[in-house]
Amino acid sequence: MASDLIYLDYAATTPLHPDVAERMRQVQSEAYFNPASNHAAGRLSLAVVNNAAAELAKLLNVSLATLLWTSGATESNNMAILGAAKQREHRGKHLITMRTEHKAVVDVFRFLEKQGFEVTWLAPDSDGQLPPDRLEAALRDDTQLVSVMHINNEIGTVQDVAGIGSVCRKHGVTFHVDGAQAAGKIAVDLAALPVDLYSLTAHKFYGPKGVGSLYVADGISIEPLMFGGSQQRRMRPGTLAVDLIAGLGEAASVARRKMVGDLSHLSALKQQLIRGLQDIDGLYINGPSEDGYPGILNVGVEDVEGESLLLALEPLCVATGSACNSQSLESSYVLRAIGRSDLEAQSAIRFSLGRLTTPDDIETAISLYCQAVKKLRSMKPGSVL
C-alpha cells in the first residue's frame, strides 16, 4: 500500500494476514492438486480442504458437514435465498427481508419478485434495528423465508439474530443471515443461534478474495443453482480452490485467537474518532453510536456534500456507502431507510476501522475531516471566512 495512504475502509475489504499469505503460498507449491482426484496427490489436497473446514467449523461452532465452499458472500447469499425459496415454494411464496440489506440480498429478492414471489420489505428503527415483534407482526401463513443481515455494512448495526431467529423457529420459517460483516469479527455461535442459513466471505476478516462459505443447518434443504459434478453433495459442484480455502481456514484460525483483542482495539479507536469529531457544528451519527459494531462509524454533517468531502479527504481512504454501490450517484438507501433525507444521506462518510488501524491514523483522519469540512463550507456562496 502506498505509504501516504491512510486506509479506513475495512468494511470494503481487509488486507491478508501474513499467516494467511504464507499458508496460501505453501498450498500453491505443495498441494495444488484436485481434491476430487482418487490418488495420493488428490488426497493431500483434500486433507488441506478438510483442515480448513475444521478451522471454520471451530470459529462458528458447527459440524464440518454443514459447511459449503463458495466464491464469496454474494454467491452464498444467492445460493441460500434462491435455493431456499425454490425448495419451499410449496409452503408459500411470501418472503421477508429488510430495506437496509446489502445489494447481494436486495437484488436477489427483486429477482424473486419477478418470479412471482411476494416480498415484504421491513423498515428498521432509527438505529437500523428490526425488533423481533415487528417481524412477527409481518409473518403470514404463507411466509416461508426471512433474510436479515447480522452486521450492517454501512452503519454497523448488530441485529438481534437470536430474537429474530426465535420468531422464525416458532412459526416454522426458514431464517437466512448475511454474516459477511460479522463472521471472524464478533462471536458467532451457530450451535446456539436459531439460524438455518449463514453466509460469509474470507476477505472481510483478513483472508483472500474469491472464497466464502454457506452454512446449511442440519435438516435444511436448498435447491442447487449449479450443476455439473458431485462435489459438495451436488449442492455446489465444481473443482475446489484449495489455496483460497486454505487461506480462509487460516484466517478463521487467526480470528479465533485475535477476536477479543481486536474488538477492544476497535472500541478504543471508535471512541477516539467520535471524541475528535463531536465538536464539529452540525455533525450527526448515522446508526448506533454505542451498541453497534465498533469497527464502523458513519457520520454526516450539515451543509457539506459527501462526494466532495470524500475527494477533499484524500489520502484518507473512506467511503460514502457500500463498495458494491460506490459508482451510483444516488444517496444511500440504507440511510434513507433509517429516516435520513436525501440531503442528509448524501453527506455521509463511513469510517471502517481494522486490525492495523492506529491511534495516529485516527488523529490524522480527524484532522483531515475537520479541515475538509471547514474548506468546503468556506466555498459555499455567502459563507463568512
Query: Could you give the C-alpha distances from 311 to 183, 307, 372, 380, in angstroms and in order?
Result: 31, 6, 9, 16
Q: How wide is the angle at C-alpha 188 spanned by C-alphas 186 and 191, nearest 5°?
A: 165
Rounded CA separation 177/163 (Å): 13
Side by side, the strands of the sheet bearing 212-216 are: 67-70, 212-216, 197-201, 174-178, 143-149, 94-98, 118-122
Q: How wide is the angle at C-alpha 64 spanned by C-alphas 58 and 70, nearest 5°?
A: 100
Neighbours of 33 (CB within 10 A): 18
Please report, as a single letter, which amino acid is at residue 270. K
Rounded CA separation 334/361 (Å): 27
168 is catalytic: no
Q: Are 4 and 289 in contact (CB under 8 A)?
A: no
Which residues, in sequence order, are bridge partners of residue 69?
213
Rounded CA separation 19/6 (Å): 23
Residues 6+ apart with CB under 8 A from 233: none
Name which of 354, 332, 352 is nearest 341 in CA terms: 332
Rounded CA separation 215/198 (Å): 5
Grid cell for residue 155: 452503519
Q: 158: exposed, middle or buried (C-beta count within 10 Å: 0-12, 13-18, 19+)?
A: buried
Rounded CA separation 34/243 (Å): 11
3-state helix, strand, coil in the chain (%, to 5): 45, 15, 40
Residues with a catalytic annotation lie at: 324
